[in-house]
């Protein structure tokens, strides 16, 4: 640790965002970086703990060498910090932008003070690495003659492709969308993760030898069994793509959509001006049902399109502002926080869009079969005799909210079944692909699984960790040993 008193001298300072009322009129990224001196101070806040919980199981799923690169930032040795970061994280330009940072939730300094700004530090190192030209294609010197097919090009598929290619195998990634990237490309909106950054990484991977076959749906365009015949190993990284529905009366009305049916065409419109499937919420009253990240992305996107109003319904109660006994340190704290979309809604309309403890009972339509509002009731949560929380409707709290457009952001139920049925791959009790953690093997010879398809809806950082883990196992399966990290 270069600066033993750094955590006493410097207060936490996050990167700033452009003002909500300004940034909400465009789809560009909204972060304003700190100066180099300010960043070094933030690096100096790290205490180089004897037991660095930030990189433990509670913290970073990739085991990033956080105290080491924090110290190198403080010392002004950014290139060395980059080299340390690359040892564990395949795509820090993505996690440095979109990760909810479980590492910061586990940071020891966070017990008494504000945690170290680990995520911002990671982003700074990576942006600097690209700016300085420290990162670029590294040609693979020796090929093994083994071939691997990867189905799905989200962070899990990409991380596996990157590692297996580096190990010398010939990797082909099959993606049904017109561009690779999975939810990094079509899902997470441009203002949170600029698609040019995804393209930049894909270009590097292509130059290093990874082959991408887009607009190629395995199970329809290409039989899954053919992949098993043509390749030495197959990795299923197809994500968790079945959205949870809300089967209440009126669900069939026009104007009610799953979140991704809104977010994906919006990104296609930004990238290509493509109109197909584009949903325009300009001058509309929007209700987003579901209070997670996806719901927030629908709020931010609706505001940018110029909606008249936006409201956000969440069934669960409002989370606490401070840690309580249900989430002791170093567990990830699920606290009440305002994300970018909430801030923007507040700035443009003067009110926070979130309503907690509210249940949708019915969608109400007009004479043309289009949604015109949502009937709701307030709910409370109480512990039953077995200690489990149960929901109770509160009599007399029925309400009606006007809406021209409703987005359902209620999570995902697992991978699609077609390809699994064709290959005879089993699913587990949560309808995810059955493959043990750390082995990633399905019950079918030479077929592996990783990412949200295996572990259920999760995070980019976990998908990268899964992709890397699966790559190790596949390398071992093909070569009898592995040196992959
Ligand atoms: C709107 C939204 C916002 C999110 N925001 C965040 C965030 O801010 N931070 C965060 O950490 N996580 C976020 N997540 C979660 C994160 O994006 C996922 O956990 C992660 O992308 C999962 O990676 P994956 O590689 O397993 O799958 P995915 O990224 O879902 O990729 C799977 C890919 O497989 C392709 N595919 C599926 N079936 C086939 C087939 N048969 N043939 C060919 N291709 C196929 C799909 O088209 C897709 O491209 C968000 C999720 C959503 C929906
Ligand atoms: S837990 Fe926090 S203070 Fe300790 S080493 Fe990790 S980042 Fe530094």
Domain ranges of the chain: 6-132, 147-241+413-479, 256-408
DSSP code of 355? Answer: E
For ligand 2, atom 2, the nearest C-alpha belongs to 107
Which ligand 2 atom is at minimum distance from the Cα of 67?
5
> Is 295 close to ligand 1, i.e. is its CB under 6 Å away?
no
DSSP 424-461: T--B-TTSSB---TTT-B-SSTTEEE-THHHH-S--HH
Contacts of 196 (CB under 8 A, 6+ apart): none
For the chain, give percent helix, strand, coil, nearest 5.
Answer: 35, 15, 50
Bridge partners (DSSP) of residue 310 are: 286
DSSP 135-180: ------S---S-EEEEE--SHHHHHHHHHHHHTT-EEEEE-SSSSS
How many whole angstroms separate alpha carbon 288 and alpha carbon 19?
23
Of 278, 298, 241, the closest CA to residue 413 belongs to 241
How many whole angstroms separate alpha carbon 365 and alpha carbon 371?
4
- Rounded to 10°, the helix 155-166/460-479 angle is 40
Ligand 2 centroid from CA 40, angstroms: 15
Ligand 2 centroid from CA 11, angstroms: 15
Give per-residue burial for 80-116: e unless 16+ CB within 10 Å, then b.
Answer: bbbebbeebbbbbbbbbbbbbbbbbbbbbbbeeeebb
Q: How far apart are the first and last CA of the chain?
A: 26
Quick one: tokens of 304? 């940018």
Ligand 1 centroid from CA 157, angstroms: 10
Judged by its nearest atom, the ligand closest to the C-alpha of residue 104 is 2
Compute CA distances 34 → 6, 49, 303, 460, whole Å: 17, 25, 27, 24
Ligand 2 centroid from CA 16, angstroms: 22
Ligand 1 centroid from CA 397, angstroms: 37
* Strands of the sheet with 405-408, listed across from one edge: 256-258, 405-408, 285-289, 309-314, 354-356
> Is 73 close to ligand 2, i.e. is its CB under 6 Å away?
no
The answer to whether residues 200 and 276 touch, using CB atoms and an 8 Å cutoff, is no
How many whole angstroms separate alpha carbon 250 and alpha carbon 340?
31
How many whole angstroms separate alpha carbon 279 and alpha carbon 270?
12
One fold for 6-132 and 256-408: no
> Is 109 close to ligand 2, i.e. is its CB under 6 Å away?
yes
What's the CATH architecture for 147-241+413-479? Answer: 3-Layer(bba) Sandwich (3.50)
Pinpoint the alpha helices (H) of 174-216.
Answer: 195-207
Pinpoint the alpha helices (H) of 273-371.
Answer: 293-305, 340-349
How many whole angstroms separate alpha carbon 105 and alpha carbon 124?
20
Q: What class has domain 256-408?
A: alpha beta
> Is 293 close to ligand 1, i.e. is its CB under 6 Å away?
yes
Catalogue the E-assigned strands of 2-47.
16-17, 31-32
Of 402, 335, 386, 393, the closest CA to residue 359 belongs to 393
- Per-position pLDDT tens, the chain of length 485: 678 899 999 999 999 999 999 999 999 999 998 999 999 999 999 999 999 999 998 999 999 999 999 999 999 999 999 999 999 999 999 999 999 999 999 999 999 999 999 999 999 999 999 999 999 999 999 999 999 999 999 999 999 999 999 999 999 999 999 999 999 999 999 999 999 999 999 999 999 999 999 999 999 999 999 999 999 999 999 999 999 999 999 999 999 999 999 999 999 999 999 889 999 999 999 999 999 999 999 999 999 999 999 999 999 999 999 999 889 999 999 999 999 999 999 999 999 999 999 999 999 999 999 999 999 999 999 989 888 899 999 999 999 999 999 999 999 999 999 999 999 999 999 999 999 888 999 999 999 999 999 999 999 999 999 999 999 999 999 999 999 99
Does the 6-132 domain belong in CATH 1.10.1060.10? yes
Compute CA distances 328 → 316, 322, 334, whole Å: 20, 10, 10
> Is 48 close to ligand 2, i.e. is its CB under 6 Å away?
yes
Which ligand 1 atom is at minimum distance from the Cα of 416?
38
Which ligand 1 atom is at minimum distance from the Cα of 259?
1
Quick one: tokens of 212? 């991408």
Ligand 1 centroid from CA 26, angstroms: 24
How many whole angstroms separate alpha carbon 339 and alpha carbon 353?
11
Ligand 2 centroid from CA 333, angstroms: 16
In this structure, how many other beta carbons lie within 10 angstroms of the beta carbon of residue 306? 14
In this structure, how many other beta carbons lie within 10 angstroms of the beta carbon of residue 380? 12
Judged by its nearest atom, the ligand closest to the C-alpha of residue 49 is 2
User: To test the ligand 2 pocket, which listed residue (58, 105, 116) has its Cβ within 8 A of the most ligand atoms?
Assistant: 116
- Residue 56 CA from chain centroid, whole number: 20
- The pLDDT, as a whole number, for residue 326 is 87
């Amino acid at each position: 640790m270069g600066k033993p008193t750094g955590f006493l001298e410097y207060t936490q300072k996050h990167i700033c965002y452009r003002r909500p009322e300004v940034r909400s009129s465009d789809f560009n990224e909204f972060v304003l970086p700190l100066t180099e001196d300010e960043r070094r101070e933030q690096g100096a806040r790290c205490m180089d703990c004897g037991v660095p919980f930030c990189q433990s199981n509670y913290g970073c799923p990739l085991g990033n060498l956080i105290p080491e690169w924090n110290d190198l930032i403080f010392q002004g040795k950014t290139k060395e910090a980059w080299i340390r970061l690359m040892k564990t994280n395949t795509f820090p330009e993505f996690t440095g932008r979109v990760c909810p940072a479980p590492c910061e939730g586990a940071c020891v300094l966070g017990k008494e003070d504000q945690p170290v700004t680990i995520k911002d530090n990671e982003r700074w190192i990576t942006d600097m690495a690209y700016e300085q030209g420290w990162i670029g294609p590294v040609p693979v010197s020796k090929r093994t003659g083994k071939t691997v097919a990867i189905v799905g090009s989200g962070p899990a598929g990409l991380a596996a492709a990157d590692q297996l290619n580096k190990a010398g195998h010939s990797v082909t990634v099959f993606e049904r969308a017109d561009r690779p990237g999975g939810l990094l490309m079509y899902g997470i909106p441009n203002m949170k993760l600029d698609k040019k950054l995804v393209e930049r990484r894909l270009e590097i991977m292509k130059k290093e030898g990874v082959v991408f076959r887009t607009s190629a749906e395995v199970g329809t365009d290409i039989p899954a069994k053919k992949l098993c015949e043509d390749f030495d190993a197959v990795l299923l990284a197809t994500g968790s793509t079945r959205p949870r529905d809300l089967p209440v009366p009126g669900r069939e009305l026009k104007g009610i959509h799953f979140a991704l049916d809104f977010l994906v065409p919006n990104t296609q419109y930004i990238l290509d001006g493509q109109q197909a499937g584009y949903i325009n919420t300009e001058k509309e009253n929007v209700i987003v049902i579901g209070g997670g990240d996806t719901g927030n992305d629908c709020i931010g996107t609706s505001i940018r399109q110029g909606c008249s109003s936006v409201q956000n319904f969440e069934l669960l109660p409002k989370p606490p502002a401070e840690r309580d006994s249900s989430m002791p340190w170093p567990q990830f704290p699920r606290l009440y926080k305002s994300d970018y979309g909430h801030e923007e809604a507040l700035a443009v309309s003067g009110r926070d869009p979130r309503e907690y403890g509210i249940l949708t009972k019915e969608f109400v339509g007009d004479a043309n079969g289009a949604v015109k509002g949502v009937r709701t009731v307030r709910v409370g949560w109480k512990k039953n005799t077995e200690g489990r929380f149960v929901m109770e409707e509160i009599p007399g709290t029925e309400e009606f909210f006007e809406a021209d457009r409703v987005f359902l952001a209620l999570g995902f139920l697992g991978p699609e079944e077609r390809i699994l049925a064709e290959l005879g791959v089993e699913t587990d009790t949560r309808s995810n692909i059955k493959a043990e953690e750390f082995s990633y093997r399905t019950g079918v010879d030479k077929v592996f699984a990783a990412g949200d398809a295996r572990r259920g809806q999760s995070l980019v950082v976990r998908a990268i960790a899964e992709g890397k883990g699966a790559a190790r196992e596949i390398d071992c399966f093909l070569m009898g040993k592995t040196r992959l990290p």
